[in-house]
Amino acid sequence: MRGNAEAHELIAPGSLPAVLELLASAPGEWTPIAGGTELMVAFAAGRLGARKLVNLWGIPDLRFIETTADSIVIGACATFLDLRANSGLATELPLITRSASWIGSVANQSRATLGGNLVNGSPAADSSPALLVYDAEIEMVSQRGRRRIPYAEFHTAYKRNAMAADELLYAVHLPRRFAHHRQYLRKVGTRRAMAISKVAMAATALIQDDLVTEIRLAAASLAPFPARLYKTEAALLGQPATIKTIQAAQSALLDEVQPIDDIRSTAEYRRRVAANLIEEFLLEFSAEGAPR
Amino acid sequence: MSTSRHTIHFTINGKNCEVQAPPMKRLLDVLREDLHLTGTKEGCGEGECGSCSVRMNGELVNSCLVPVLQAEGADVQTVEGLASNGKLHPIQQAFLDCGGAQCGICTPGMLMAAAQLIERNPHPSMAEIREGLAGNLCRCTGFMRIFESVLAAATHAAESVPKKVHHAR
Amino acid sequence: MNTTAKTRIVGASVSRKEGADKLLGRARYVDDMERAGMLYGATVRSTIPRGLIRSIEFDRQIDWSEFTVVTAADIPGENHIQLIVADQPCLADGQVNHCDEAILLLAHTDKHKLREAVDAVRIEYDLLPPVFTIEESERQDQIVWGSDNLLKSFLLEKGNVDSVWESAAHIVEGEYRTGAQEHLYIENNGIIAEWSPESGVTVWGSLQCPYYVHKTLIKIFDLPDEKVRVVQTETGGAFGGKEDYPSTLASHAALLAMKSGHPVKMVYDRMEDLAATTKRHPSRTRHRTALDKDGKLLAMDIDLATDGGAYATLSSTVLSRATLHAPGPYSCPNVRVRAKSWATNTVPYGAFRGFGAPQAIFALERHMDEVATALGIDSVELRRRNFLHDGDTTATEQVMREPVIMDQLLDRALKESDYHAKRARFARENPSSAVKRGLGIAAFYHGSGFTGSGERILNSLAGVDVMPEGKVRVLVSNTEFGQGTNTVLTQIAAESIGIDYEDIIMAAADTGMVPNSGPTVASRTVMVVGRLIERAGLQLVVMLREQAGLGEKFTREEFFAACERLRAAKGEVASLVRYEAPPGIFWDDEKYRGEAYPSYAWSIHVAQVAVDTVTFSPEVEEFWAVQEVGRILNPVLATGQIEGGIAQGIGYALYEKVILQSGHMANNQMTNYIIPTAEDVPPIHVFFEEIPFRYGGYGAKGIGELPHDGPAPAIVNAIKDATGISFHAIPLLPEDLFAGLAAHQQIEEQATL
């Protein structure tokens, strides 16, 4: 234990307006903390830079999952166990449910929040690929008001995002129009549980008359932040799902991604596995899809 | 810079308690240092090993990742709160009978995870047991005796629920 | 004794002696303890792998008057940890030889101020060129230890291997490597120390061998035996990792206690424990094997090297065990093992379950599969043709006088795993599946107890005494750290005396209270110390019959009444016995010839793996372990030992990688040093064939280390079966599998051009 509790301030304004007021009063000075599954790790390791923290855990305005006619809206402080327990997500947006089940363990899922996962902005964030291929939008809130941006524009660089210093991530909006898409998600870690992904990939696609008419691909751990793979998508859009198309997509992917060597894996491995995952997904509906 | 101590109230194993602590102090340290409940262990300090697992408001949490301020008003249960009236909790009894504990250091956290699992899911499959315990690392047992303990306790839980079953005795 | 006689308690799965305490959260581990006026201690460590300490500066931002500061100059006695060679300083004095080497100690009442203070000690070095690998050390361009970097070497020779090469039908060569492995006991190392001029040094801590710590402390403090007391607290896993290191940590805490005049607690956090404490020795083994046309072994020429790290610690004995396990459970007329342990500028490698055997057995059992492939013989059949049998001699020319049942173990393993049918099915299914499955085997023994003359030199003393309140106490220095020492020794005492399990308690493992029954290592406790307790119990009953009128048959009440009569007459009721070597034991330390171990435990492992060719992830799907470990005294505990060892062996093979960057462990967190979770350990099927060993406690042999020896080669053999590709090194992570498959593909593509 290398952190010193007395060197950090933690306050609990107790309501969303009070938190927003605090953030507005001193933009950038306060770091929100919800389930603590990232910040408390940094704290124990003596690496927590934030000296002033504001508590979001237990604010009911932020912990909800709402289903409207055309979307499912997830509050920033909904935990991954909340996500797993939601039947609407499980039936219509199952990749969210699955990615939630891969986060750490039960004791992490009971505390880790969707908003925290996104704001933390790890390149390996477990929930990101699924959100990206579901066209998620991020709603942010501040005393100045609310705004929504596509999640694909949320991360701007390694551990950087589009939020202003006085803003809080309020909710994630998921359109309810993927029930008939082909969906794919795979996380590759060294072990089955409690793993940090070395590569993760998600996809949603529509196939009509053997042609790819709609495609979204997204990956984690292949770039400084989780991102859509637009160039790879371009190689697939409007194409028949043939081996030739798969190979074109793989080569576009290898051009597009920029994985690194680190203590968890190698760039070469990540590239190869990413290419294999694309193939695995596409072979599912390729006419020539004889498994190897 | 330093922050003052706060008074924080919560219930611990069914009893009200009040502690004076910096709000960022880890629940784990409050349990061990302020409340002298040393059954809860620290194995890694980063939410990886689960030795510090406790239940907070009915959810399994790693107490090393909970700033005590967030426990304000909460209902916290530790390994010390499992047994009642001097009788081992069924999961404790099963660990004793089936060899689920060896060195004992992961055991308190493992018991909390197992108790949570069985309470939520009285008839877990092997896959569900594995998933429910995946956040609790044990280096001694290879998990087989632990799985058997959980199955035994789950069977016991099922038996203790009144059901229309003919007893042969 | 009659090892097959009916027993009441031995052989039953009685529940763990200290089980309820552990389950209720009542068991007291060192970090659960406080002493009045206690300070906390911390360590300032080297940030470089090798160099001279030029200066030590204390940042003026800190009020150092609040702190106790200890350097090498404060050591009253010898600045050495006493293991085999006294080369390792307790605190670096002028020079450092590895990253994270302890240089200076601090104590304070406030843990947090201590952390800041550690960072505020600035050390300047004159860098010296470091050596990080076996190969660099062998080249001897830089001499980092002694005159030649060689910590120890052994030569074992049987027959004459060089007479065979020319005439042999087949010669097969191979090189195999194993990586470092961290014990990852869930309880980190920790010690509390106290010092006073009157009573000397007392330490409480998480440790395996109280008398090892004692041996170091008397030298560090230059104190007589009785002025140093070492007490084991409940210990949260050890696996060898608390065999040697606690001597260092206890010295540190005790030095701070002496200088400050207060009790001092030092409990490492995970990052410090991973970075600064011992690991399993990395190894490189080269095999050259000659066989006749029928696949019978003619010669095994084995060159084995380990990386010992910066100081000698236990490298010589680890190397010895590696040497003696390198030829495996096979009969071969000509054997040569040349073994060397090399110094490098890394944290010293130390004891770890298996103690050199897992490294040697990985190489041999992988090599046997390579030999089988080269000869076109089924690998099961190759092993069967060469197994040792009763009456054969091992590589040290030890005659197998006890039954050797490798064929029987193999048959059982093949049957239980449905080996042949499954392999046929996988061969059919693999070509059309992205997941390739395979089965692999490892055959091996593990020598129980200390090597050669070791047990005679230890000369262990153990026994029982009787407390006035009506409890029999087991007096041993052997420790419980999960394996079941308390339970099994209690069963043995209850059995031999003829009273109940509940009537026996374990004396605290406290050097002020118990005799030296040797360390808790080398799978020796139940076999060697258990035998002493069995004899002590029988001797106690004889004493009571002869001197206190105890009848031939007796009740519990009659027994304790007789004890009190004896106490009234003699003042105490105690029965101590000393180790007696089995007859006919001969061992030559010079030539490495003779009875290497009093007994051997034998085992066959079968691993079933699935290799996903999309992710290059190898997973163990199912595992079978069949073993002969003498008599099983507690089936549940014995099974738990086997399963736990196999899980650790799976980690060794597929998950656990110590990443050193400039000699410092870069992945010193549980997030990045990956061990198998509940979702990763496959179903493990454990089977025992029991042949009681007449000189072991109620017929027991060693069990604890055996299961760690087999998983790695069985798994990597199974991966070869699944993919057709031979891997020669562990850990074998998906990245390595990918690299291996890619290289193989390239070779195949070139071949088809």
Nearest Cα to Cα of residue C600 among C478, C443, C459, C485: C443
CA dist., res. C307 & res. B154, Å (int): 48
Is residue C305 within 8 A of residue C340, CB to CB? The reply is yes
Tokens for C611, please give them.
């290799």
Cβ-based neighbour number of residue A268 at 10 Å: 14
Q: Does A261 touch chain C (CB under 8 A)?
A: no
Name the phi and psi angles at B111, rounded to 5: -65, -40
> Which pLDDT band, with edges at 50, 70 and 90, does A73 fall under?
very high
**CA dihedral sign, ordered C641, C644, C650, C653:** negative
C62-85: pLDDT as tens digits = 999 999 999 999 999 999 999 999
Tell me what pLDDT residue C745 has.
83
Q: Residue C749's pLDDT band (boundaries 50, 70, 90)? A: confident
Q: CA–CA separation, A107 vs A109, rounded Å?
A: 6
Whether the pLDDT of residue A65 is over 70: the answer is yes
CB-CB contact of C337 with C155 (8 Å): yes
The per-residue pLDDT for C1 is 43
Q: pLDDT by residue (tens digit) across C697-706?
A: 999 999 999 9
* HEC-encoded secondary structure of C533-574: HHHHHHHHHHHHHHHHCCCCCCCHHHHHHHHHHHHHHHCCCE
pLDDT of residue C516: 98
Which of A40, A52, A187, A194 to probe the B interface (max B CBs under 10 A)? Answer: A40
CB contact under 8 A, C647 and B40: no
Rounded to an integer, the average pLDDT of C263-277 is 98
Per-residue confidence band for C620, with pLDDT thresholds at 50, 70 and 90: very high
How far apart are the C-alpha atoms of C698 and C691, rounded to whole Å?
Answer: 11
Q: Is C261 helix (H, G, I), strand (E, B) or coil?
A: coil
Give chain B's contact residues with A (Cβ, < 8 Å): 1-3, 21-26, 29, 42, 45-48, 50, 53, 59-62, 64-67, 69-70, 72, 113, 116-117, 130-132, 134-137
CB C232, CB C508: distance < 8 Å: yes
- pLDDT at residue B161, as a whole number: 47
For residue C4, give the H/E element and its range: none
- Count of pairs with CB atoms under 8 A, one residue in B, one in C: 163
* Chain B residues inside the 8 Å CB shell of C637: 99
In this predicted structure, the answer to whether residue B130 has a pLDDT above a threshold of 60 is yes
Over the stretch C472-513, which tens digit does the pLDDT of each residue have?
999 999 999 999 999 999 999 999 999 999 999 999 999 999
Instruction: Name residues whose C-beta falls within 8 Å of residue C345's C-beta, 6 or more positions apart in sequence.
Output: C49, C50, C97, C98, C99, C130, C131, C132, C144, C310, C663
Mean pLDDT for B16-38 is: 98
Q: For chain B, what is the mean pLDDT?
A: 92
Cα-to-chain-centroid distance, residue C565: 44
First to last CA, chain B: 70
Give the pLDDT of residue A288.
62
Mean pLDDT of C415-436: 97
Q: Which amino acid is at C263?
A: P
Q: Are C522 and C355 in contact (CB under 8 A)?
A: yes
C612, pLDDT greater than 90:
yes
CB C71 within 8 A of CB C79: no
Q: How far apart are CA C151 and CA C84, in angstroms?
A: 11
**Residue B163 predicted with pLDDT over 50:** no
User: Coil, strand or helix: which one is C137?
Assistant: helix
Interface contact A221, partner C, CB < 8 A: no
The answer to whether C419 and C413 are in contact (CB under 8 A) is yes
C interface mutation test: which of A269, A277, A281 has the most C CBs within 10 A? Answer: A269
Whether residue C24 and residue B39 make contact (CB cut-off 8 A), yes or no, is: yes
Instruction: Look up tokens 């066959």; give the residue.
Output: C604
Residues of chain B contacting C685 with CB distance shorter than 8 Å: none
Q: Is residue C4 pLDDT above 60, yes or no?
A: no
- Which residues 6+ apart lie within 8 Å of C409 measured at CB? C443, C602, C603, C604, C626, C627, C628, C689
Cβ neighbours of residue C542 closer than 8 Å, sequence gap 6 or more: none
Measure the CA–CA gap between A103 and A110, rounded to whole angstroms: 10
Percent of chain C with pLDDT over 70: 99
CB neighbourhood size of C288 (10 A): 17
| Least confident residue range of A85-89, C111-115, C687-691 | C111-115
Separation between Cα atoms, residue C2 and residue C689, nearest integer Å:
18
CA distance A63 to A56: 10
Q: How far is A53 from chain B (nearest CA, A)?
A: 9
Element (H, E) at A151: none
**Mean pLDDT across chain C, nearest whole number?**
97
User: What average pLDDT does chain A have?
Assistant: 95
Location of structure tokens 């007994």: C599
Question: Alpha-carbon distance A250 to A256, whole Å?
Answer: 10
Task: Report the C-alpha gap between C443 and C601 in whole angstroms.
Answer: 11
Tokens of C296: 């019978």
How many angstroms separate the Cα of C313 from the Cα of each of A50, A194, C149, C308, C310?
43, 35, 14, 8, 9
**Which two three-digit tokens encode residue C416?**
């239980």
CA B37 centroid distance within chain: 13
- Check CB contact under 8 Å for C23 and B101: yes
A70 lies within 8 A of chain C by CB: no
pTM above 0.90, yes or no: yes
Residue C731 — φ and ψ, nearest 5°? -70, 145
* pLDDT value for B156: 75
At C117 the pLDDT is: 97
Q: Indicate if the pLDDT at residue B165 is higher than 70.
A: no
What Rg value do the Cα atoms of chain A yield, rounded? 20
Beta bridge partners of C610: C437, C619
Could you tell me which residues of chain C have a Cβ less than 8 Å from any Cβ in chain A? 111-112, 115, 269, 271, 432-434, 613-617, 619, 655, 659, 666-667, 669, 671-672, 674, 676-680, 733-735, 738-739, 742
Q: What is the 3-state secondary structure (H, E, C) of chain A?
A: CCCCHHHCEEECCCCHHHHHHHHHHCCCCCEEECCCCCHHHHHHCCCCCCCEEEECCCCHHHCCEEECCCEEEEECCCEHHHHHHCHHHHHHCHHHHHHHHCCCCHHHHCCCEHHHHHHHCCCCCCCHHHHHHCCCEEEEEECCEEEEEEHHHCEEECCEECCCCCCEEEEEEEECCCCCCEEEEEEECCCCCCCCCCEEEEEEEEEECCEEEEEEEEEECCCCCCEECHHHHHHHCCCECCHHHHHHHHHHHHHHCCCCCCCCCCHHHHHHHHHHHHHHHHHCCCCCCCCC
Q: What is the pLDDT of residues A238-266, one digit of tens each?
A: 999 899 999 999 999 999 999 999 999 99
The yes-or-no verdict on residue C291 having pLDDT over 70 is yes
Q: Which of A98, A110, A113, A187 to mutate to test the interface with B (most CBs of B within 10 A)?
A: A110
Write the pLDDT tens digit of every residue in C121-133.
999 999 999 999 9
| Whole-number pLDDT of residue A289 | 52
Given pLDDT bands bounded at 50, 70 and 90, which one contains residue B160? low
Cα A292 from chain centroid?
A: 31
* Contact between residue C354 and residue C180 where contact means Cβ atoms under 8 Å apart: no
> First CA to last CA across chain A, in angstroms?
49
Q: Give the pairing type, strands C121-127 and C51-58.
A: antiparallel
Helix (H, G, I), strand (E, B) or coil at B53: strand
In this structure, chain A runs to a length of: 292
- What is the enclosing helix (H) or strand (E) of C95? strand C95-96
Q: How many helices (H) and strands (E) does chain B have?
A: 5, 5
Instruction: Give the CB-side neighbour count of residue C750, counting CA atoms within 13 A.
Output: 6
Q: Which of C271, C616, C676 sits opposite A273 (nearest CB)?
A: C616
How many other C-beta atoms lie within 10 A of the C-beta of residue A213?
Answer: 11
Q: Which chain C residues are closer than 8 Å to A274 by Cβ?
A: none
Which phi-psi region, left, alpha or beta, contains residue C441 (left: φ > 0; alpha: ψ -120 to 50)? beta
Q: What tokens were used for A291?
A: 């498994």
Separation CA A200–CA A108 (nearest Å): 19
ipTM: 0.97
pLDDT (tens digit per residue) in C97-110: 999 999 999 999 99
C251 φ, ψ (degrees, to nearest 5): -65, -45
- Structure-token pair, residue B78: 């530790």
With pLDDT > 90 as the criterion, what percentage of chain C qualifies? 96
Identify the pLDDT of residue A248. 97
Structure tokens at A95: 């990749």
